[in-house]
A and B are shown apart, each in its own frame.
Chain A
């Protein structure tokens, strides 16, 4: 009997205490510094973009910023569930083509075809080369399977969060062309990396201007 009388009272008092706890939490958050940035005047720093998954981009070779590490194995195109990756691949020159039947025997006899190929191979190694890497970003669901599957880590998520465009076609990205522009684009530490079509899309420059104007205006 007594327990049933006092139980709800104790419960109510505990409830009141939890209300005070809640107020204390929001009160403390109120006093803390803000986490948002005043966007046109400030941009998010690179540290905050760690792990940001923008559209995919090609990773260049260590010694050559213009050439992707891609070996044109097509696994990314095959695994993409949204079917938004299209590669154009240039097959090796004729001598290498002649060697192709030998490739089937790689498993059984590794020595002969290799020696044969090196003899025939042109200077670039006779490998397949990617000549175009198209990404239809309107279809991409950013699942990251292509990044995971790439055997030579030639794909990664970009930190390009300022992607915007007036047409659907603006999001049909040519990643190879983008890679060629990448050295000119701002370094990661300075803010957004170049977009798909920087001359149209990259918002960085106008906003820098606005910064100067806004500073005087306010």
Chain B
């Protein structure tokens, strides 16, 4: 038997466990906050109040919805593949924690110190497509299957320009370590990467909206055509996990965007985690604003947009970046 005192618990492990616990709370709280915010933004854009009855100004509406989702019976549709059907929401939600780990929220405020942070995020963000695919196939439902097919086609469209845009930043910074990418940017907006790489920023923004399956790129769940797309058949928390994963992924893409292009936790006057949260929420609000402004694009339109415009644009941008790096 080894005495407890003799156990050498590595500091990195402790940090990981604490970070995972904190992230679980962060994702849960922000998920509910974002649902509330989304409905408020939608309401105000349509000149109605949004949720208003549960609690003052409907602030407890998201809590009530969450309780309702948790309390629902879990039904597996007839003819569904049980393992794929129930594995999909887990596969969708689980990587979310991994995505958050390498992100530096503030000076020294990160879960995992890895010099491949960006690669980790890009690799595991793609898992969501697999989850949608499993959900669509496992549901034994035509709408779900069509939604899954769309999710795959969409990921083929946006992943490449996304990677090329991020690559330009990685080449400029010379690292895939998110903390170091932040460290190489200054506190003032003109010292951020967005000032040097506006084209990459634009491409990243468009692709990040597509990545999170949000309008105008919400083809996989297009409610007006496919009822709810891949999650048509999911009851209660099965749907809840997809939902939470989508909102968590929104936070991830905006956090990565803020890290890569907007100086991370650095900001005018006083650096700190508040700047990071402010940038994330500003990014999210713009995404919501876009959702309630534009109609959904068609299947071929997103492919055209990504392949005919964003990929060439990203390639030219990457080439220009390399040339500039070689010259300077």
Chain A residues at the B interface, C-beta cutoff of 8 Å: 12, 19, 22-23, 25-27, 29-30, 32-36, 38, 218
Contact = CB atoms under 8 A, between A and B. Distances in A.
B294 A30 contact: no
Interface in B32-64: 41, 44-49, 52, 56
A36 B309 contact: no
Interface in B1-49: 41, 44-49
B173 to A, nearest CB: 28
A218 B294 contact: no
Contacts of B44: 29-30, 34
A218 B45 contact: no
Identify which of A25, A29, A33 gathers the most chain B CB atoms within 10 Å of its CB.
A29
Contacts of B309: 12
Contact of A22 (B41, B52, B293): B293
A218 B57 CA distance: 10
Contacts of A36: 47-49
A34 B49 CA distance: 7
Nearest to B57: A218
Nearest to B308: A8
Nearest to B48: A36
B290 interface: yes
Contacts of B46: 29
A35 B293 contact: no
B289 A29 contact: no
Given A29-B45, A35-B47, A38-B52, 11 more contacts: A12-B309, A23-B290, A23-B293, A25-B293, A26-B289, A29-B47, A34-B48, A34-B49, A35-B48, A38-B49, A218-B56
Given A12-B309, A38-B52, A26 B292 contact: yes
Contacts of B292: 26
Contacts of A12: 309
Interface in B199-248: none
